[in-house]
Structure formats: structure tokens, C-alpha cells
Chains A and B, each alone.
Chain A
């Protein structure tokens, strides 16, 4: 018998490659499927994971590669996802989280990554230190 309230944890390390953005969001979605989420909740989480991993690939590691760490924790109805990199870090977190703020000179990036994470998850916590890396912790209650 599996204990119902024991937290279940998934830990994953992947190369910081753009093709792993899809891989990470699909893995998170498959793992959380046991929480019996609605399709909308699945989409919410996939989008938030995609944003966080894309940030790690583009900004954390400046597209030069590294390791992206993902941890997904299920505790009852609460889903927690941590995406972490050991890249360049963010000096000014409030500014980075401003809607439409982007460092991309080409203008091809919308600057809405953090706004989307906040819109689709209940809680988003960003911790970062320049030169050490960034960690994004997101929580969402899955009502199903």
C-alpha cells in the first residue's frame, strides 16, 4: 500500500539545451498526472515550467550550456516545482520580473516569462545571486 500523504519527489538534471525545454515540461506534466489535474491545470504547469527552463537556458547559461535542475514535489494537492541553474544569476530580480522587461536586443523575446509563471502558478519565488545562479520555486494547488 502506498501511503497517501507522503510527499513524492522527482529530481532531474538536464543539459541546458533549448530542445530540453519541451522535455522538461512534458516530464513535469506526466509526473503530475497522478494528481488527476484538469487539462487546464496541466497546460498551466507546462507553460510555467517552459518559461522557467527557457530562462535558465537563455539567461542563466546565456545559451552556452550547463545543467538545469528540476525538482517536482507532490504533497497532497500541492504541487511544487523548482527550476535551478548555476549560471550568471540575476542582479536585479524585481526589474527582471517586470512585465515586458527583456535584455534581448533583437526584440524577439517578449519579456513575459515571469508574468506567465505568476499568472499560471499560485506562488512564484525567485532567488538569485550574480555569478552563482538562479532558482525559481513555484507552487500550485491542483484541484482536479
Chain B
């Protein structure tokens, strides 16, 4: 069986999304549907994106991050990030994401702070 691209982990009102190695248009296809479903069925106050496996991201990744941010901002929630490597970090900066989401070194920081 094919390994799922995104894996989701719930921690109280926090939803942790473990992102795939390559976050491009092809791989982003299922993310909207899956997170919409989870957000509609659970009370989520924060989405945490785990980039620790991700080695490549392009503007498609920025698009899905921005949309999740808009969803959470509407309900007063927040979005945080951890595990971003060099390539991912440059794309996040260029896409203006770091003005909207706080970056952490560790999962603990991203979930609890």
C-alpha cells in the first residue's frame, strides 16, 4: 500500500500535520479536502505544520499554507511551523509566511508555546 502523503496527529485542540518530502502541486492535492474534514469534525485551535521530512517546497506549498492560515485566523486560532530546512525556509520567507506563522525549532515549542 502506498504510504499516505500527509499524516495527521491530534494533541488536544492542536492538529499536527506531518508534511511529505516534496510539497508541490502534485502532492498538495489532497491536503485541502483532508484538513477541511478534520477541522469540521474537531475543535481545533492551532494547526502545526511539521516540515522535518520536507526537502522541497514551491509556491504550491505557500498556497496551501496561506489558506490554512486564513481558515484558522477566521476562528481566532493560530498556525505554527517546525522542522524547516534551508530550502523550505527560503521559500517560507519569500512567500511572506514567516510574518503570519511562528517558526519553532522543536515540535514541543510549536505545539505548546
Nearest CB in chain B: distance from A113 CB, A:
5
Q: Interface residues of B: mostly helix, strand, loop or mixed?
A: helix
Contact residues, B1-45 vs A (CB, 8 A): 22, 24-26, 28-29, 32
B25 and A21 contacting across the interface, CB-CB below 8 Å:
yes
> Inside 8 A of B87's CB, which chain A residues have their CB?
43, 47
A58 and B95 contacting across the interface, CB-CB below 8 Å:
no
Pick from B22, B58, B66, B67: contact of A51, CB below 8 A.
B58
A58 to B58, CA, bound (A): 14
B90 and A43 contacting across the interface, CB-CB below 8 Å:
yes
A37 to B55, CA, bound (A): 18
Nearest CB in chain B: distance from A26 CB, A:
9
Pick from A18, A54, A106: contact of B58, CB below 8 A.
A54
Residue B101 at the chain A interface, CB threshold 8 Å: no
> Inside 8 A of B59's CB, which chain A residues have their CB?
51, 54, 109-113, 115-116
Residue B64 at the chain A interface, CB threshold 8 Å: yes
Q: Mark B57-90, 1 if CB is under 8 A from A, else 0.
A: 0111011101100100000000000000011001
Pick from A46, A57, A107, A115: contact of B56, CB below 8 A.
A46
Number of interface residues of B (CB under 8 A): 23
A80 to B24, CA, bound (A): 22
Contact residues, B81-110 vs A (CB, 8 A): 86-87, 90-91, 94-95
Q: Give 15 CB contacts A-B under 8 Å.
A: A18-B26, A21-B24, A21-B25, A22-B24, A40-B86, A51-B58, A54-B60, A104-B63, A108-B67, A109-B59, A109-B60, A112-B59, A112-B63, A112-B95, A115-B94
Residues of chain B whose beta carbon lies under 8 Å from any beta carbon of chain A: 22, 24-26, 28-29, 32, 56, 58-60, 62-64, 66-67, 70, 86-87, 90-91, 94-95
Given A47-B87, A54-B59, A116-B58: 20 more A-B contacts, CB < 8 Å: A18-B25, A18-B26, A18-B29, A21-B25, A21-B26, A40-B86, A43-B56, A47-B56, A47-B91, A51-B58, A104-B63, A107-B63, A107-B66, A107-B67, A108-B32, A108-B63, A110-B95, A112-B94, A112-B95, A119-B94
